[in-house]
Homo-oligomer: A and B are copies of this chain.
Amino acid sequence: MTTDSLLQRRFRVLGRNSPLFYDEPLHLVRGDGVWVYDAHGKRYLDAYNNVPHVGHCHPRVVEALCNQARTLNSHTRYLDETVVNYAERLLSTFDASLNRVFFTCTGSESNELAMRIARECTGNMGVISTAYAYHGNTAAVAQISSVFTPPSKRGPFVRNVPVIDPYRERNGRSDEELADTYVQDLQHAIADFERDGVKLAAVLFCTAFSSEGLPELPRGYLPKVAAAVHAAGGLVIADEVQAGFGRFGSHMWGHALQGMVPDIVTMGKPMGNGHPLAGVVTTEDLMERFTSENMYFNTFGGNEVSSAVGLAVLDVLRDERLLENAQSVGTYVLSGMRALQKRHPLIADVRGKGMFFAVEMVTDRETREPAGARTKAVVNAMRQRGVLISRIGPHDNILKIRPPMSFSTQNADLLLATLDTVLSTES
């Protein structure tokens, strides 16, 4: 089976618009830790995927999956210890007010449920997201996923706030001044709803603002957002699909890093290391109010196998000290990227934390003109040279580097050296 004939077969069953990475799609056959292998036996360093959060095919996660799959796999309408153990372990990583969990199967289902809870419990309909957000693929969630949904399709109950871009917008201002400016954007969206008679149910954002380009948030911004949302009668929904499970190294959750306690937290991708497991964490009060009026059941959500896998991921994060690893290797990567920045004028800004990095590329550091086409060329050239990354941001000019949490300094050296070579060749 050649890659090209496989591609043709795929078009005939999954269609031509089912997304594929890279100009030359990658035909993978094996994964192991931070490595993946294509059909020709070529090895690639995975510096992109957060689905295999603790590494591709991690043996402890696979063992937990297989042991439980051999034992029992039904649903949570029967009592089971594993799901309770997992729920307790997961909730112990949150602020004490966030003490209830719904298990779902995908980040889309989690954001969908969070919006249902917010709208039911506030009695309001308005939801605010950013102008370049992705939160999932259901009808309600697609409306707030502005990256793929034009304003004409977002309906009457959605408003967007502009994307935060401190790299371009700081202009010498302090964090406090910048945070106040961005909170003003939110106040404008709330006022815009009010003009149309729409009351605020929730603000929903990714705590990494990942699609938006992983901006360095001004200190104090998110707590001020929460205060403004609560003052307007809404709830704060923190989407932790990208930032969660220790991605930033110093904290288990992006909102905790920012010193903010949301009303509802959603999570997905990294939670089951590839197994379809996701969740919504909220307060006892919101869960009780929602479920006393609305039956919610998710057949596969939190089943015995999903819970066993989720527990194994938490065990590996703890036992392999992967948050500490993300912190130390993350610092190493950032410093290496800043060294590259000095030598390669294409690199305008390097930011990130833990195991999540954004490298912003411009054609001119004075005008800060986004270098979208060259960023795309860099991503494809990295793939040709055996390192997998992607790109983000409204101008598609920001390298997205988000490796499995077990990424080592040796892996970092390969990433940095390859990027150096590519930039020297392509620039």
Contact = CB atoms under 8 A, between A and B. Distances in A.
Contacts of A373: none
B51 A75 contact: yes
Interface of A is mostly: mixed
A56 B74 contact: yes
Interface stretch (A15-23, A161-169, A343-351, A415-423): A15-23
A174 interface: no
A31 interface: yes
A102 B19 CA distance: 12
Interface residues of A, number: 94
Interface string A75-102: 1111111011001100100000001111
Given A274-B303, A291-B15, A305-B275, A69 B79 contact: no
Contacts of A69: 57, 62, 65-66, 274
Copies of this chain per assembly:
2
Contacts of A76: 14, 18-19
Contacts of A57: 69-73
A247 to B, nearest CB: 16
Interface of A: 1, 3, 6-7, 9-10, 12-21, 25-31, 36, 49, 51-52, 56-57, 62, 65-66, 69-81, 83-84, 87-88, 91, 99-102, 105-109, 112-113, 115-116, 119, 137-140, 142, 148, 268-269, 273-277, 284, 287-288, 291-292, 294-303, 305-306
